[in-house]
Structure 1
């Protein structure tokens, strides 16, 4: 469907206005010209109805008569500065140096291709290479020893079936902070409103927070414990690789109650299913934006109880795939 807008000289076709003089006719408009021609409409009426020149309509119909197609002939249009070979070299360089800025890539391309290139040209060339600037994901740093231990741990537990992983009780703690102001990532403004106080993202040095501990399994969500004070080994007994959790009082408490503990590799948050639960709840907190500690606690408990059973089954069933990804990446971080 073609739109029109009012101008000084009358109604003009939006496609013609956006294209500008000398721009190629869009395929949709060429197809409409041919359809009206096949219905017996004269070229003059077609040009008048679509607000095009008679010569343009004549050329499109003449090309359709000769070749039977409405596509533009090969060789028409402005030649690109970078050909297919240059684009392949540019793509290899961008993939090798993923953290380089567009200005650095432009400087390299000018020296490598011996051509005058601009930043906008590099943006268009990256789009032709199907590359785009994205915000990188945040993952914990892993040294060689930690990668090796993750690899060996995943290899040792790779034979576990999904039924065996369903018998594991996943427990962990997380910290939730009270959100102050409008903490969205984006703000609707003009270019000149960047220093408007209503467009600032406010931050607090030490916001009120809650330490939340919970456990889950494939059968459902367990009880939720919220702690508002300081945490040490005597008041807070849990077991993972954190120092308060590996204290002697923690290990003796677990040993007296004959609780079997699954040995866990350091910096392996991507292998724990409950980490995805914390991520879901924190996303809900950003949407709801509680203003006080009491509202934050109520929202956390409500969202904790609303986690469906199929979601838990999906998370626990994905553990074997996570182990395979860790082995494939030789212990490096995964997408989970």
Structure 2
């Protein structure tokens, strides 16, 4: 709305929207993601390139695990104007930092074994014992890389 006034243009909001749309820009909800260092981004790319040609059979024995942190309070959407394919460009993504207050929800997926619900440790332990061929895959979040976490996973036979 304020663009014509700020730039001293003699046109309306609709003209600007039409011009932006013609150039491929649309209004979209801003994506959220955790901040990545250049090293983290490089590590993720390396991992992806190492696994890009894996077969379904290879993926069938990988159990991916992750969690989400839900926070109380007002949840609003921020809208950005961008082109298709730019959803994860740094200019159109909101930095998402961890907070102290909230609830953590955990989940895992596996190509072959379907959904896993419940409290993480007993379920992961049971699944890993029943399916020794599974490779447990998680991100390198601080909680996953803590010495205590490694000790617990080792104690129940998960590498």
Q: What TM-score comes out, normalization by structure 1 length?
A: 0.28
Contact 1:106 1:122 in 2 (8 A): no
Cα distance in 2 for residues equivalent to 1:143 and 1:104: 37
CA RMSD of aligned residues (A): 3.8
Change (3 A) 1:130 1:148: closer
Change (3 A) 1:216 1:124: closer
Contact 2:66 2:106 in 1 (8 A): yes
Consecutive unaligned residues in structure 2, runs of 5 or more: 78-98, 121-137
Cα distance in 1 for residues equivalent to 2:62 and 2:51: 13
Q: What TM-score comes out, normalization by structure 2 length?
A: 0.53
State the Cα deviation string for residues 161-182 of structure 1 (Å, max 9, x = none). Answer: 12211211122233345688xx
Contact 1:170 1:217 in 2 (8 A): yes
Cα distance in 2 for residues equivalent to 1:104 and 1:164: 56
Secondary structure class of the residue paired with 1:133 = strand
Change (3 A) 1:156 1:254: same
| 2:63 aligned residue | 169
| 1:117 aligned residue | 10
Higher relative contact order (CA 8 A, sep 6+): 2
Equivalence map 1:198-277=2 (5 Å): 209-218=102-111, 219-225=113-119, 240-260=139-159
Q: Which has the higher strand share?
A: 2
Structure number with larger C-alpha Rg: 1
Equivalence map 1:1-336=2 (5 Å): 103=3, 107=7, 117-120=10-13, 121-176=15-70, 209-218=102-111, 219-225=113-119, 240-260=139-159
Consecutive unaligned residues in structure 1, runs of 5 or more: 1-100, 111-115, 186-205, 227-238, 261-336
How many residues are matched?
118
Q: Which has the higher helix share?
A: 1
| 2:88 aligned residue | none
